[in-house]
Amino acid sequence: MLHILVLILKVIGIIFAAILGILVLLACVVLYVPVRYDIRASCDGTFAGIRAGARVTWLLHLVGFYACYEEKELTWRIRIAWKNIRSGQEEKSTIRSEVETYDKEMEELWEDVEEGEEENAGEDLEEDGKENAEAVEEEGKEPGNVMVEETRRCREESGEAVESKEDRKELAEAVEGEEESADTGEVKEVGQLCEVSGEDAAKSEEGSCGEPCEASDCGAGCEEEHRSIWQKITDLCQSIWQKITGLYRKIADIPAKMKDSIENISEKIESLKGKKDKIVDFLTDEIHKKAFVKAKDELWRLLRKLRPKRVAARVRYGFEDPSLTGRILAGISVMYPFLGDDVRVYPDFERKVLDGNLEVAGKIKVSYFVWLLWKLVWCKDVRMTYRHVRNFKL
């Protein structure tokens, strides 16, 4: 029994050791297997003749990215183990899907057209059958029945004629009565109009109060007109006075507003001074200074490790604007100490030209970044500075 238990524990230990070894192996592969890159470019003397290629690989080309720019066209390819993804595969797949959908739509349209033709043919047959049945029914009628229907129709028309004659007589009598009443009403209305016109004439001879118009009424109207003009003049003067007083008040308020604005500016300046003092105190602290120096040294070491292993270039360039050529030369000259002796740049200030070739190759490891984080985390000054930065408020 004990032997079986020991054997089970032994198997479990072997399994755990294998899993741990696989994890350690994967961690080492991720950390220490470098990502290699290689970039090459050349030009035949013009900007249109630029040719370039780039290659990025990892783990013995198991994962890779390849790109090429030539004749103003960019192509790329991604490889993951045995799976390849190219730049034109998406377009081909979209074209195939569009063709398949177009074929399906055409088949559905043909089916709809055939179904519509069958339905139209059935409707035509039904209409022909109905017309034939109606013709048979009309042919099957007896002549006696036709005569009976005609005599009945004649009797009904004669009865309608008699009724129409009686209606005409009644309408004629009603029209004559209405004409007589209309004549009497017109006479009465004419009399009323005459009376009303006589009253209006009498009123027009008198004033608005029922008495004859006199010159005193004209004088009262003139006085009212003078009063209205005087009221308008007074209103205009009041509005002008109000505008003048409002302008005076605005002018009088200018010194107070200027004083308030100056006070606000001085308060802002004092607050900015306080913020500046806080920032200066934070940066000049000894712990923070040590942390910044440590971070700068580690970052500089990382950049040295990430520097390309090979940089070779021979470039002759020039633009239409000589000042642009000079500015680019100034930027490149700053990088000369890091580029090496294999880089040659020849500016041309007289014409637009680009000629030469370029080769850049190097590698990047994940362990570089992990080592940087490890050193920063285990530095006490850096940890304290990080806490102070999180709690820092202006």
Measured between alpha carbons, how far is 51 from 74 in angstroms, rounded to an integer? 10
For range 16-32, the mean pLDDT: 93
Give the residue with greater pLDDT, 58 vs 44.
58
Give the pLDDT score at 268. Answer: 87
Paired with 346 in beta bridges are 316
Q: Is pLDDT at 140 greater than 80 in this prediction?
A: no
Most confident of 136-145, 151-160, 189-198: 151-160
- How high is the pLDDT of residue 176? 52
Mean pLDDT estimate for the chain: 75
The region of weakest confidence among 3-17, 73-87, 211-225 is 211-225
Model confidence band, residue 102 (pLDDT cutoffs 50, 70, 90): low
Instruction: Calculate what percentage of the chain has a pLDDT beyond 90.
Output: 24
For position 350, what pLDDT does the model report?
Answer: 87
Helix intervals (H) in 33-88: none
99 CB-near residues (< 8 Å, 6+ apart): none
Per-residue pLDDT averaged across 283-290, rounded?
A: 89
CA atoms of 393 and 275, how far apart (whole Å): 9
d(CA 356, CA 344): 10
Query: What size, in residues, is the chain?
Result: 394
Assess whether pLDDT exceeds 90 at residue 60.
no
Q: What is the pLDDT of residue 198?
A: 43
Residue matched to tokens 């109905």: 130
pLDDT of residue 228: 76
Coil, strand or helix: which one is 163? helix
- Supply the DSSP symbol for 47: G
pLDDT tens for each residue of 235-277? 888 888 888 888 888 888 888 888 888 888 988 888 888 888 8
Q: Is the pLDDT of residue 135 over 50?
A: no
Q: Strand 310-318 to strand 343-347: parallel, antiparallel, or no bridges (unpaired)? A: parallel
Which tokens belong to 354? Answer: 């680009």
Q: What is the pLDDT of residue 165?
A: 46
On the 0-12 / 13-18 / 19+ scale of CB atoms within 10 A, 285 is: middle
**Any idea what the Cα angle at residue 10 is, between residues 8 and 12, rounded to 5°?**
70
What is this structure's pTM?
0.53
187 against 72, higher pLDDT: 72
In angstroms, the CA 3 to CA 18 distance is 22
End-to-end CA distance of the chain: 72
Count Cβ neighbours within 10 Å for each residue of 343-380 and write b for 16 or more, e otherwise. Answer: bebebeeeeebbbbebbbebbbbebbeebbeeebeebe
pLDDT of residue 133: 47
Give residue 123's pLDDT. Answer: 58
| pLDDT over threshold 60, residue 158 | no
> Among positive and negative, which fits the CA dihedral 272, 278, 284, 290?
negative
Residues pairing with 387 in the sheet: none
Are 334 and 341 a contacting pair, CB within 8 Å? no
Contact 343, 18 (CB under 8 A): no
Is the pLDDT at 4 greater than 80, yes or no?
Answer: yes
Burial 182-191 (b: 16+ CB within 10 A, else e): eeeeeeeeee
pLDDT of residue 156: 54
Cβ neighbors of 129 (< 8 A, separation 6 or more) are: none
Report which listed range, 52-66, 145-159, 268-282, 328-342, is most confident. 52-66
Confirm if 355 and 316 have CB atoms less than 8 A apart: yes
Residue 58 has a pLDDT of: 93
Tens of pLDDT, residues 336-366: 777 777 888 889 888 888 888 999 999 999 9
DSSP helix/strand/coil, 212: coil
Q: Rounded CA gap, 32 and 45, in Å?
A: 41
pLDDT top residue among 142 and 149: 149
- Which letter does DSSP use for residue 48 in this model? G
